[in-house]
Amino acid sequence: MKRIVSSIFVITAAVLAAVVLITHEVEPGNRTPGQPKVVTPVISGETKSDVQNNSVPADDGGMTSFIPLASDETLISILTLDFDGDTRDDQINLVRKMTSPYLYLIVGLYNPATGSYERTAEIATQISQVKTFSYTGMDVIGDHRLALVYQGITDSGESIMQIYLANRTGSHFRLMNIGDFKSDGTIFIQQSARNESYELSQSNGVSFPVWVYSTDKSENKDENISGHDQLQTKYEWNSAAQKYVQTDQLRITGKRLAAKELERIQNGNVKTFSEFLSGLWYKTTNEGDGIRYMFFDYENQEIILLYKDAEEVYSWEDSYVNSSGMYLSTENTSISNLQRRYYISLVDIDEIQVRMQDDLRMTIDESNLWNGSYKKMDAKSSFGSETVPVTAKNFIDTLVQGGTWHSPDGSSITFSPDSYTVAGDTANDSGTFAGVDIADTPVITFRSSGGKPFFSSSYTLSYAVIPVPDVKPSQSSKLKNAGPVTDTDTVILKPVELTPEGCLPAEEPMLTITREKEKKAP
């Protein structure tokens, strides 16, 4: 009998301990504060595929909304973070209302006194498409407070970013908008590493600036020419004003396009601009020992990134055109929660500027190796192409009109119609030059006015060639119209000796000079 009583006592104690443990874990306010996390619950009546096709990327946290929602509100996703700084998790829900086409953010703060989440604030966004929407908690000003940052694209193709801070004094709560940005180009937060003292919560860290790219809308005097200048504006946190303020602005001068060409490519129609993009493009400046290629396949709704023997395939989700170019949202076909956004600006009829951005909740690297200028490799483009210069005069025109050129040793070279100047750590030279065609071979000769010439006496001239990348057999048919293209930004000079019979190779090293690209921005 004693054994039976003892067994019953042990079992009862174990059950009570389990109940206490489960109760402690379920109570949401007692969780240890962690990093912000977005989860997407399955809404009643929706299939799993429906949620994946109509919601922002989410972690599988298995959570549900603790904020009371109205009957006309449909829950799309949940962001969990300590928003008011009381060390307890709060919730910010993304919802859609039956009475509005736009998305809303509902802020719910945890009240430890009642053990419930109180619906505290409502933020109406100007964004209607969930696929373009991203939001997260981020310490943007460096004082260990998580700010709410949301970003998206409006139906007119404009980028929007809003940054909010929670200010709570006792029972009084105030939602502060510290950053309000809108542009027809890219908007991004330039994140940077903070010191160890900040990571250990011993001191504050540096604030993150916000960069906004927009089209310069100033009027052009020539109605037949369309300008492509961009404004690069920097905003930084101002503690006195308690918001982000403009601290710098730089105009990036672009090429001028004939208005009729611009109208044909960029007529406000997604299909027209997408067809212009369709084909293989190569990056004109590359870090490392390989060339980066980007293939836009509008027909199959794919974007393929190629670098060396690596290939990434993204499905083409949403597209919006604006006054400067196009916005694209994509999803990796192998990793469904990896989304990338592309902001594409038109530079010339065969050149685009690409800025790529991963999900807002991921660290944005300011030196993203895929960002930059791209030229089209398909010489059969329906929008035309230029004939590659082959004579000495054409090469001389390229050198003179190309601004500053660079040699492998870091020297800068500038050409005027009859003279040149070299400046660098290891070379300083100036002199004259002339071009001539010998047996249909373009040749350039140099005469230095200094004691230590930078150039040899004579060189043959040629342009570098961008090869078509090696691709998988399944992709080869898509690149059938692409062929090697001539890179007029890179000139190869091969030393030669001039003889009555023509040009003979000289026993001196070959020299490659590269045209200076436009100034890099963060």
The order of strands in the sheet holding 159-169 is 134-138, 147-153, 159-169, 172-183
Inform me whether the pLDDT recorded for 48 exceeds 50: no
**How do residues 202-240 score in pLDDT, each as one tens digit?**
999 999 999 998 877 665 545 444 455 678 899 999 999
DSSP alpha helix (H) spans, 27-83: 48-54
| pLDDT computed for residue 390 by the predictor | 74
- Compute the average pLDDT of residues 348-372: 71
State the DSSP H helix or E strand holding residue 264, giving kind and residue range, or none if neither: helix 259-265
Task: State the Cα–Cα distance between residues 9 and 29, nearest whole angstrom.
Answer: 32
In a 3-state reduction of DSSP, which class is residue 473? Answer: helix
Angle 252-254-256 from CA coordinates, rounded to 5°? 150
Average pLDDT of 12-24?
A: 48
Closest C-alpha among 422, 425, 426 to residue 455: 422
Q: C-alpha angle 157/158/164, rounded to 5°?
A: 135
pLDDT digits (tens, 9 = 90+) for 264-302: 776 667 888 888 898 889 888 877 678 889 999 888 899
Q: Give CA separation, 258 vs 223, 267, 349, 382, 486, in Å.
A: 9, 14, 10, 16, 23
- How many Cα atoms sit within 13 Å of 194 on the Cβ side? 21
Number of H helices, E strands in the chain: 7, 32
E strands, 187-242, are 187-189, 210-215, 225-226, 230-238
Predicted TM-score (pTM) of this structure: 0.64
Q: 344 to each of 263, 329, 351, how far by Cα in Å?
A: 16, 11, 10
Q: What is the pLDDT of residues 93-126, one digit of tens each?
A: 999 999 999 999 999 999 998 999 999 999 999 9
Which of the pair, 10 or 158, is modelled with greater confidence? 158
Q: Could you tell me the pLDDT band of residue 477, with boundaries at 50, 70 and 90? A: low
- What are 173-187's pLDDT values in tens digits? 899 999 999 988 888
